[in-house]
Structure 1
Amino acid sequence: MQASRVWLGLLIAAGVLLAGCDNAQAPRSATAPQGQVAAEQPSAEQIEIEKYNAYVDAANSGGNFAAILDHRRTEYSKDLQSKNKLSEYYLFSAYDISLLRDNLNKALALPSPMPDLDAPAKAMLVALDKLQPVHSELANYAASKGYLSDGGQKARAMEPALDAALEGVAIEQAKFYDGLAKRDEVNTRQAFDEAEKDSLAYYRAGIVLYAKQSMRLSTDFFQSAGAEASVKPFEESLGKTAQMIEGWHKQNTATGPGCSVMLSRLNQFVGKGREAIDTARSGGYKYNEQRQMAWKHNNPIEHDAKFFGSAFDDVINDLNSTSCS
């Protein structure tokens, strides 16, 4: 579950790559009085783009509540279950709640209907409203170090409510990430299909399309511990990504260290995926008692998922920031 969360977080962050709208000044109307500019109503397409971008902002801001929940369960489960006095206790930032809530409200205020995103966004807002008062009370308790006064009694009493509220937000956030990821892939596919074949724009869009597709398919691959049914589509998508990288490299005449780094990171992304497939096929993801201690300290599935996700993050960062065509 952890890897899926990261990839979805890392997949949504990449949505800004193809998102954007024209903020140019509206043209002067022929019928407008001299010295005035007629207000031009945005088109349905512009509103849709604006709303999509607002949802991207919501995905990029605020907390990743599945990660927050997982961290708290790991950090405090033993301490809160024991009767020992707590020596520390803290809450995540209130901005994790408010930033997400503000951006969701901004997106929902725009009229373009997006059922795949509007429904989980509304459900997230309901869940955030349940989380906020619990968080506020415990945040004050943590900031005033109340756990040093009562030994952690209030933390033990309220942590189950916090856990349930966090889980409620995390469930709806996962649905939101999934909907935005699917919509993002549609947008990327459109950019690829509309680009001139064998052009730099074509290969660049293809890299984005198939890299994102590979990330999505890798979710099933890692969650199934490399089951063969999940390997084939993942492997084919990585192969298409590699073809786009090769085409981009042949067409790109730009030079300089930045382009070399970008090429290296593109290939590293594909390589990490292929390494994971090779590990799975060679039995490296099969758990047994002899590997119990080794897996406890270094689970190979979590390890490979983490580094594959990190390689994807590097690719998207380079595509967003590099001066290479």
Structure 2
Amino acid sequence: MNNLKKYCLAFVVGGLCVLNTACDDKKVSNNKVVQQDDPEQQEIIKYNKYVNASNSYTINVADELDKYIDNIQTYKKDGDFQYYSSISGSSLKSLAERLDKAYSLPPKMDDLDTPAKKLSNAINAALPLLTELNDYQTAKTALVDKGKKVRDTEKEYVSLMKNVAESQEQFSDAMEKQDEANMRSLFDKAPKNSPEYYRGGIALYAKQAIREANTVFDLYREGKPSKEINNNFTQSLNKLAEMATGCQPSKDTVNNFVGSGRGLLNKAENGYLSPNSVSGSSPLMAQNLRNSVNNDYMQVINRINMYGCTFK
């Protein structure tokens, strides 16, 4: 769940219309003639279409596949398949269609187009079986055939969904890199100490901080802490706190996230996230801590998206 959650949060940042560039469909339509002749605007429009596609599907296929495999073992053991379920084909079909629409737009963006097309192809390859299994699930046919359909298609389903899961992760990685590159570029171009400068800096450093927060969490849970990652996390939080001083409308929300991040790091360094530590947390408590930090990050993004750094 963690990997996709990070990507989804990153996409929310991308959803800031790439920080003051035109992404609103109405704005696109009003400036259509200008944008058709402007390669940079075309790239922004296409990128945001990919963002919208990604935001439309927030399920981590790898996680869902793991649950499926665990459930199948239980069904086989108990001989009871009446609660069988598979991933929704209609939701994945919608994602593939959105990806294809973005892919078809100019200009070529190989770093995104290639993984997007791979994901779309993987989804389309799985759709026939998903449709069969979704119908099977809805009609509760497992009560009639005692799960025969599930057993007969298990290997094919797992194989197809592994391809979808791997393609989803590759596309998410590509979006993550592009998202951060966009924000870095816009932050660097903004006039220093302007509202756009502080807004861009908050988006950029908050994005870096949440990625590092989740990495810190994972490394400590695995018993493999990294001083380098801890230092990077600390630096991102410090830069974020610095940006907050120039963004009065969002300052308290940003500082709240900074505080959550520093609290996470402090608890990690004191053994709270270490499974074998006397002062360690339970898996549920640890996950709640992660969720709390992620939620505070979301509040930052929602706040700067709504208010920016200028009082209105």
Fold in common (TM above 0.5): yes
Percent identity of paired positions between Structure 1 and Structure 2: 31
Match in the other structure for 1:215: 210
Report whether the alignment pairs 1:135 with 2:130: yes
Q: Residue 318 of structure 1 aligns to a residue in which SS?
A: helix
Match in the other structure for 1:66: 62
Gaps of 5+ in 1: 28-37, 250-258
Report whether the alignment pairs 1:273 with 2:261: yes
Deviation of 1:188 (Å): 1.2
Q: Residue 86 of structure 1 aligns to a residue in which SS?
A: coil
Count of equivalent residues: 299
CA contact (8 A) 1:5 1:66 kept: no
Over aligned residue pairs, what C-alpha RMSD do you find? 2.6
Q: How does 1:242-281 map to 2 (within 5 A)?
A: 242-249=241-248, 259=249, 262-281=250-269
CA contact (8 A) 1:117 1:176 kept: yes
Query: Which of 89, 113, 121 pairs up with 1:126?
Result: 121
CA contact (8 A) 2:36 2:42 kept: no
Q: How does 1:289-304 map to 2 (within 5 A)?
A: 295-296=282-283, 298=284, 300=286, 302-304=287-289
Greater length-normalized contact order (CA 8 Å, ≥ 6 residues apart): 1
**TM norm structure 2:** 0.85
Deviation of 1:212 (Å): 0.8
Change (3 A) 1:128 1:210: same
In structure 2, what is the Cα distance between the partners aligned to 1:97 and 1:281? 40
Report whether the alignment pairs 1:157 with 2:190: no
Change (3 A) 1:324 1:86: same
Change (3 A) 1:318 1:73: farther
Match in the other structure for 1:310: 295
In structure 1, what is the Cα distance between the partners aligned to 2:131 and 2:217? 36
Match in the other structure for 1:8: 7
In structure 2, what is the Cα distance between the partners aligned to 1:146 and 1:61? 30
In structure 1, what is the Cα distance between the partners aligned to 2:7 and 2:31? 37
CA contact (8 A) 1:11 1:181 kept: yes
Structure 2 letter corresponding to 1:47? Q
Gaps of 5+ in 2: none
Change (3 A) 1:15 1:87: same
CA contact (8 A) 1:51 1:107 kept: yes
**TM norm structure 1:** 0.82
Q: Which has the larger radius of gyration?
A: 1
Deviation of 1:264 (Å): 3.6
Query: Which of 89, 98, 107 pairs up with 2:84?
Result: 89
